[in-house]
Structure 1
């Protein structure tokens, strides 16, 4: 467990326990993703109750998209929530265009080393005119990230490195506690805890209807080619969430 403050630790425990309890009680497989998706409201609550002085320095605005050009590691449920949103709200033409962009991303991701994957700087396949086209269903990492300096984000993007620390301590820990609580609860309930590259896994989710079925059966939802980039020589366990008995 990371070093949370007592308040952040409480947020992790309460969020995770609630999600775990609801997943265990849900009998209709079609309702499982909705349980996880509904927990995303905890991000808003965590932000709204952050110290006022921390929220006052948040520089993130619509059209500020530097953070939408870096690789995003996600859990399977996040991908499936986005895919469900896309299939409900995108037109057939928009869906076809998205699948094409995701296929290009996946091909580029698969053809690179782990180091090259981690340093990829390409626009997210869901970025539209500088804004997220699935904002209400966006991944947890996107919900959790806040910066105090938009220009520094642009500098980091152009350099390909995080030369300037843009994080806001009074916000970041709270958001991360919620994110970790949700993901740990999903893993505790027996669902896929592997870390995936968002663009690659989204392509597979939109072109293979069995991905969601595998997740419901508590199997690996996506193929190995969609796994998040890890450090060279790691054991393939990088970023994987394991059941550790937190919420039993």
Structure 2
């Protein structure tokens, strides 16, 4: 799949992607589709646990940091809907109302801005609570896939609005990206929405309109264009996952 994957990581991509696609195709009840993908997120834990011990020893990420929760997060529709389901199940009415207000403010702030401009805003994720994720069990795939070996470097990158300092851990990053791409490619191969969306904006839409989930199960675009991840000029298709015939 990826020239930068090791043979082991490439095998993970193929195995996980094929398994997820098979389960999606076998699922007849539309109401069970998101559960298939939420269950697939357990593959991130397995991939992390099986990473080289030396690589895991360098992971600096800890609860209460929250640095990476201040940058734009691009997601596919199923990730938003999984998060929305979790919120609706676990948040009180007062917490839900406050979240919708934060998401609306986020959406207004980022609309019409480039990805770089959004990065410079340093807006905290609308689900960040006391510098920790309030939906950790249902967090997006990108949040599961990025690990750092240096917290101070992360803070410097955030302050500068650029990833000038390399904080990634090769023995961990490739494995997590293999899982993320496998799930997302399987979603695209099954015909579901492959458009990348801004997480905060799409979450606002999902929490205020039940039609988003309906459209997704019908293999339509789940969210309006105003929720899309910002694309680079002249490269509007860069944030779209398309069916490529993998896992056949």
Deviations 1:29-72 (A, max 9, x none): 00000000000010000000000000000000010111000000
Q: How does 1:157-196 map to 2 (within 5 A)?
A: 157-196=158-197
1:227 Cα deviation from its structure 2 partner: 0.6
Q: How does 1:89-238 map to 2 (within 5 A)?
A: 89-234=90-235, 236-238=236-238
1:240 alignment counterpart? 240
Work out whether residues 75 and 183 of structure 1, in 8 Å CA contact, stay in contact via their aligned partners in 2.
yes
- Between the aligned partners of 2:215 and 2:238, the Cα distance in structure 1 is 21
Which consecutive residues of structure 1, in runs of 5 or more, have no partner in the other structure? none
Work out whether residues 68 and 154 of structure 2, in 8 Å CA contact, stay in contact via their aligned partners in 1.
yes
1:78 alignment counterpart? 79
Secondary structure of the residue that 2:51 maps to in structure 1? Answer: coil
Work out whether residues 114 and 231 of structure 2, in 8 Å CA contact, stay in contact via their aligned partners in 1.
no
Which consecutive residues of structure 2, in runs of 5 or more, have no partner in the other structure? none
Secondary structure of the residue that 1:24 maps to in structure 2? Answer: helix
Work out whether residues 71 and 120 of structure 1, in 8 Å CA contact, stay in contact via their aligned partners in 2.
no
Aligned residues: 247
Return closer, same or farther for 1:120/1:238 CA change in 2, 3 Å cut-off: farther
Q: Which moved more, 1:106-115 or 1:139-148?
A: 106-115
1:11 alignment counterpart? 12
Runs of 4 or more above 6 Å deviation: none
Work out whether residues 72 and 115 of structure 2, in 8 Å CA contact, stay in contact via their aligned partners in 1.
no
- Between the aligned partners of 1:123 and 1:213, the Cα distance in structure 2 is 29
Q: Which moved more, 1:40-49 or 1:116-125?
A: 116-125
TM-score normalised by L of structure 1: 0.97
1:42 alignment counterpart? 43
- Between the aligned partners of 1:19 and 1:129, the Cα distance in structure 2 is 34
Secondary structure of the residue that 1:228 maps to in structure 2? Answer: coil
Work out whether residues 102 and 199 of structure 1, in 8 Å CA contact, stay in contact via their aligned partners in 2.
yes
1:95 Cα deviation from its structure 2 partner: 0.3
1:177 Cα deviation from its structure 2 partner: 0.2
Work out whether residues 113 and 230 of structure 2, in 8 Å CA contact, stay in contact via their aligned partners in 1.
no
Q: Which moved more, 1:236-245 or 1:18-27?
A: 236-245
